[in-house]
Amino acid sequence: MRSRRSILFIEQFYYPEGWGGAQLPRDITACLASHGWQVDVVCGSDQYAPLEGNPGPDPATVGIRIRRVPRLFAGDIHHRKLFRQLWFYLAAVPILLFARRPDVFVTQTNPPLAVPLTALAALVRRRPFVIIAQDVYPEILFAHGMLRRDRQPGRALASIFRWSYRRAAAVVSLGKTMTDRLQEKGVIPDRIETIANWATGSEALVRGEENRLRGPWCLDGRFVVLYSGNLGIAHDVATPIEAMRQAARANPNIVLVFVGKGSRLKEAQELAERSSLDEFVKFFGYVPAEMLPHSLGVADVALVTLQPGFEGLVVPSKALGYLARGVPTLYIGPESDVQEFVKSGGGLCFNNGDIEGLAQALIDLAGSHDRLRTMSETGEAYYRSALDRSIGLDRYRALLERIVAE
């Protein structure tokens, strides 16, 4: 009788965790465990988006063994971030090298250097490994200007990651544009597997009088444009806020609501303040997981944005969350994978800086319930047919079974 197949999965944030990017590996590992795999997960003890209330079923109850790196610092995960990541790398090395040897290693790209560490461990232990490219490093650092491609540190980091990606038995890409980026890194096309992310958390929506946030957030009677999730280096905050200045003059019932945090939150708040948009642009922190149906339920339309230069390097999963729940979706950014998702789901797409076009679209949509209903139905139908969680999980399971068999 064949022994159980085994996997060692590396991701800094796992369970319990409110961040959607950490719920994806929870879905993948739980699926594998339910199909008889022996699953070990290496993760940290910090939470990126701490949950209030019930975090959902513990993966350990389905047989997943969770190996947590002890917490180095207390407090906000964004403080001393570099030291937290370095500690994770150091503490993860002995687990990767000396834990029971799996049939396959799998790593996401968070934290980034987990990729070369896993590549090295797989080489030493003579096992295949798979990279799930949620982000493409170090190209993200080059796009942001944090690192120069033509300087020695940038060249060295690029070489390390190029070696890691080329050694991988498979690299999971989130879409066509990301696939192009991976091929530029030297990944053999036959080793690239395209599997889109999916919506995480409850897909229910609570609207109308039953919504517990519309009243406290002073949104009753307003047409709500929602941005939900991380406001990071790859996201455009200027275009939607500038567009709101024009849209609000034509229709003062339109309001832009940001729910979340991130490195560009302060920039967004300062821009709204300078534009005297306090009444038309509101900011709220992350909500508990059980309140997600309410926070997404305030939206009449939802936004996903991407800065030029980041296309194919990151694919904001918030777009899939909107589509799955039938929330009409608007995309601001360059041609990219997320643009393809939004277009296919009946949403509207705008270039960065197209302030007049976005403002006019908001004004038009605020007065067209029929168009909003059509966008909602189209988006949800597209998600169910092409991007549903079950589709992605089946593809992950088939990919890993093939790699282990080979």
What integer pLDDT is reported at residue 290 of this predicted model?
A: 81
pTM: 0.92
CB proximity list for 385: less than 8 A, separation 6 or greater: none
Say if residues 78 and 230 touch (Cβ distance below 8 Å). no
Torsion angle of C-alpha atoms 399, 403, 404, 405, degrees rounded to 10 = 100
* Average pLDDT along the chain, 406 residues, taken 10 residues at a time: 82 81 89 95 81 75 91 73 85 92 95 94 97 94 87 92 96 97 94 95 88 95 94 94 95 96 92 92 88 94 97 94 96 97 97 97 96 97 96 97 94
The whole-angstrom separation of Cα 308 and Cα 351 is: 9
Contacts 24+ apart (CB under 8 A), 115-122: 115/161, 115/164, 115/165, 116/160, 116/161, 116/163, 116/164, 117/10, 117/89, 117/92, 117/93, 118/10, 118/164, 119/163, 119/164, 119/167, 119/168, 121/93, 121/96, 121/97, 122/167
pLDDT of residue 378: 98
Provide the pLDDT for residue 132: 97
